[in-house]
Structure 1
Amino acid sequence: MKFALHFGNNTCPDLAAAHRLVRLAEAAGFDSVFAVDHVVLPDTYSSTYPYAASGRLPGDRTASIPDPLIWMASVAAVTTRLRFMTGVLILPQRNPLVLAKQVATLDHLSGGRIELGIGVGWLKEEFEALGVPFEKRGKRADEYIAAMRALWAADGASYAGEFVKFHEVSCNPKPVAGSVPIIVGGHSEAAARRAGRLGNGFFPSIGRPVDTMPLIDVARRAAEAAGRDPAAIEMLAGCPDLLPGSGKDAEAAIKERVAQGIGRIVLPSTPFMHDLEESLARFGEKVIRPFS
C-alpha cells in the first residue's frame, strides 16, 4: 500500500513550512504529496461546492493557495524520492500546450516524480472570471489529455479536435518516462468514466464521508468497455480511520482498502500539522512501514 498527503500547498503555503512538510513526509515513507488548485476564488458564487455537505468552500477565500506547479517545483528541489501530484488541477482552464510544457519540464527536473491529477471544475464563476467557457468542459478536458500526451510522446506531433489544433510541432523536454501519469479526480460518474477511458488512475473525493466504491466500480466498468485492463488503473481513496486520534485499528482499515483494490491511501495533511515531526514520524513507524 502507498500513502499520500493531500492539501500540501494550502496547508503549507510558505517556503519554510512547505520544505519542512515534504522533508518530514519523505522521511516517514509517504509516497506522494498533493497540491490543490484554484486560480481565483470569487467573493460571491452560486455554484455548489461538491465536497462538503454545506455546498460552500471551507476556510477563508483570501487564504494563500500557491500555484500547484510552482509549489511542486519548490518542494521537489529539496526531496529525492517523494512524488508530487496536482490534486486536482482544473484542466479546462489551462492552455494544453503551455501546460504540457510546464508539466514535462517539472517532471524532467524532478527526475520523473510528477503526476498530473486533473478535474473539470465545479466553480462556474471562476471559469467566467478567466474567460473560459464552463459548458463542454468535459469534452475540452478529454481533448486536452489527448493533446498533451501527443506532445509528450514524440516530436513533430499533430492533433486536431474541436478545441485544440496543432500540426507537426515539438515540445521539449519530454517527461522522463515518456509521459506523465494522469490521475482523474472527481465526485461524479462522468469523472469515473473518464478515468476508466483515459486515466492512469482515479481519485474520487476524500472530502465529506461518502462511499466512493460505487464510483470506483464505474471506472472499472468504463475501462473494460474501452478495452483497457481495469487493474492497470490505480485507485486512490481516503481512509479516515488512519488519521491521528481516530482510535481505530489501522491494520483492519488497510486490509479493507486492499480488498477493495485501492493502491494508494490519501490523507489530509491538516490533522498532522499539530506536532508535525512527531505525528508524521509515528505514522511512518506504525502504519507506513508495516503495511507498505
Structure 2
Amino acid sequence: MDVGVFVPLGNGNASPEVLRAVGRNVEDRGFESIWVPEHVVLFDEYESEYPFSPDGKFPGGGDTGMLEPLTALTYLAAVTDRVRLGTGICLVPQRNAVYTAKQVTDLDNLSNGRVDFGIGVGWLREEFEAIGVPFEKRGQRTDEHLAIMKALWTEEVSSYQGELASLSACRMYPKPVQTPHPPIHVGGISDVAMRRAARLGQGWFSWNQLPDEVTTSLARLDELLAGEGRSRRELVITASPYFNPTTPALMEQYAAAGVDRLVVLCLAFDVDMLNEQLDALVTDVLEPANALT
C-alpha cells in the first residue's frame, strides 16, 4: 500500500520556504504522493454543511485560505523529481473547463507525467455564488466539464456539445504526458460520487472513512462497476483517514479492505513543524505500510 500526504497550503504556510520543504522533504522520506485541497474563498458565516465533520462545519475559519491547487502543484513539480502530485480535491463544476484542462496538461508536462487529478462537485453553495456559477446541476456540470477536458487532452481537434457546456472545434497542445490523460480520481463517499467513479474514473478517493466504512463503500462500488462492465482492478482506491488517527493495526485493515493508497494529513505552519510531522508519519505510517508489502 502506497502512502501519500495531504498538505493544506494557504494562509499561514503559503511561503516559498515551506513549499520547497514540502516537496523535497516529502519526496526524500519516500512518500508516494502529495495532495493539496481547493477553495478559492471561504466564509465566516455560511449555511452549507461540510460533509466530513460531525457538526457540518469546515475545520477552519474564513481566513484559512488556500493556494490554488494547480499553481501550488506546479511549484512543487519544480522542486521534486519522483513524488506524484494530486488535487485533493479540484472543484471542477465551479471552474472554467478549458483553463483547467490547460493547467492540468501543463502540469503533467512540467512534472513529466506525475499528475493525479482528484475531482469533486463541491459542497459550499456560498463559494459558487461568489464565483457566479450555479450550485444547482453541479453534478451534471462536472460530467460535461470532464468531457470537455478529456476531448482537449486526447483529440487532435477537440469539440463537445452538452446541455450546460460546449466547446467549438479547437486545438490544445501540448497533450499530457500520461496517456490517454492524467488519471481522474473521483472524490466523495456518496452514492452519486461512487456512480461517477464507476462510470468514468480511474480511481476513487474516500474521505474520512475508517476501514469498515471503506469496506462497505467498496462493496457498493463493486456493484456499480459491474453495472458499467468494469471491475475494481481498473481503479486505484485511495483513502484519506483525514482527522482520524492512523495506527499500524488500522493500516492493515485499510490494506485488507482493498485500499491501494493511504493519504494522511500533514498540517504544518513552518519547516520545523513540517519535518517533525513527516518524521512521525514515517515511523507511524510509512514504515508499517512498507512492511505490509
Show the counterpart of 1:222. 224
Distance, in Å, in 1 between the alignment partners of 2:83 and 2:176 is: 17
Q: Secondary structure at the match of 2:217?
A: helix
1:207 offset after TM fit, Å?
A: 7.1
Pair 1:171-2:175 in alignment: no
Show the counterpart of 1:125. 126
Distance, in Å, in 2 between the alignment partners of 1:241 and 1:91 is: 24
Unaligned runs of 5+ in 1: none
Show the counterpart of 2:45. 44
Task: Assess, with a 3 A threshold, how the Cα gap between structure 1 residues 125 and 166 changes in structure 2: closer, same or farther.
Answer: same
Check the 8 A contact 1:205/1:212 in 2, yes or no.
no
For 1:63-82, what aligned pairs fall within 5 Å after superposition?
A: 63-82=64-83
Show the counterpart of 1:267. 264
1:209 offset after TM fit, Å?
A: 9.5
Check the 8 A contact 2:25/2:275 in 1, yes or no.
no
Show the counterpart of 2:135. 134
Show the counterpart of 1:255. 252
Check the 8 A contact 2:211/2:257 in 1, yes or no.
no
What value does the CA root-mean-square deviation take over the aligned residues?
2.5
Aligned length: 287
Unaligned runs of 5+ in 2: none
Check the 8 A contact 1:33/1:84 in 2, yes or no.
yes
Distance, in Å, in 2 between the alignment partners of 1:207 and 1:15 is: 33
1:236 offset after TM fit, Å?
A: 1.1
Q: Secondary structure at the match of 1:145?
A: helix
Check the 8 A contact 1:53/1:208 in 2, yes or no.
no
Distance, in Å, in 1 between the alignment partners of 2:212 and 2:69 is: 26
1:4 alignment partner AA: G
Match of 1:204 among 203, 206, 210: 206
1:231 alignment partner AA: R
Show the counterpart of 2:191. 189
Distance, in Å, in 2 between the alignment partners of 1:43 and 1:239 is: 26
Distance, in Å, in 2 between the alignment partners of 1:64 and 1:98 is: 22
Query: What percentage of residue pairs aligned between the two structures are identical?
Result: 36
Show the counterpart of 2:239. 237
TM (norm. structure 2) is 0.89
2:130 alignment partner AA: A
Check the 8 A contact 1:239/1:253 in 2, yes or no.
no
Show the counterpart of 1:109. 110
